[in-house]
Amino acid sequence: MYSTEIEVRTGGSAVVHDLTKEAERFLGESSAGDGLLHVWVPHATAGLAILETGAGSDEDLLTALDELLPRDDRWRHQHGSRGHGRDHVLPALVPPYATVPVLGGVLALGTWQSICLVDTNLDNPVRRVRFSLLAG
């Protein structure tokens, strides 16, 4: 298995960060053929999603998460910024992993699909993302 970890700076606001180019770069470095790309975020307050970006879906996702998981004082897990407990619930809804088929060294994503890091944690502006290729 070929694997590497990258660092992503997400800043101080909720973000949907497109990782597709980084994933493609990883596949190029790995001399990938066929297999599975596994993407993992080793954090308790971030997740991964496959979705369209740039046409509003990324902002719609953040809005839906804000409505479903309000940033207020209802959360038992309380430390850091106001409402931080909701960030710890996020990975139950947006999991910290994704697996994408790789065919001939190319991600087998749909036309408008991207691999995205979803980070709503205002207290942690730096994330790690691990790419692992399981050759077929």
Identify the sign of the CA torsion 62, 21, 134, 33: positive
Work out the pLDDT band at 83, boundaries 50, 70, 90. confident
Q: Which amino acid is at 64?
A: A
pLDDT at position 120 is 95
Rounded distance, CA 22 to CA 65, Å? 25
pLDDT at position 35 is 97
3-state secondary structure of 84: coil
126 contacts 9 by C-beta, under 8 angstroms: yes
Work out the pLDDT band at 79, boundaries 50, 70, 90. confident
pLDDT in tens, 90-103: 999 999 999 999 99
Calculate mean pLDDT across residues 80-99: 94
Q: Which amino acid is at 31?
A: S
Tell which residue, 57, 38, 136, has the closest CA to residue 96.
38
Work out the pLDDT band at 32, boundaries 50, 70, 90. confident
Evaluate if pTM is beyond 0.75. Answer: yes
pLDDT for 77 beyond 90: no
Q: Which residue has the tokens 């902002």?
A: 59
Rg, C-alpha atoms of the chain: 16
pLDDT for 78 beyond 90: no
pLDDT in tens, 44-55: 999 999 999 989
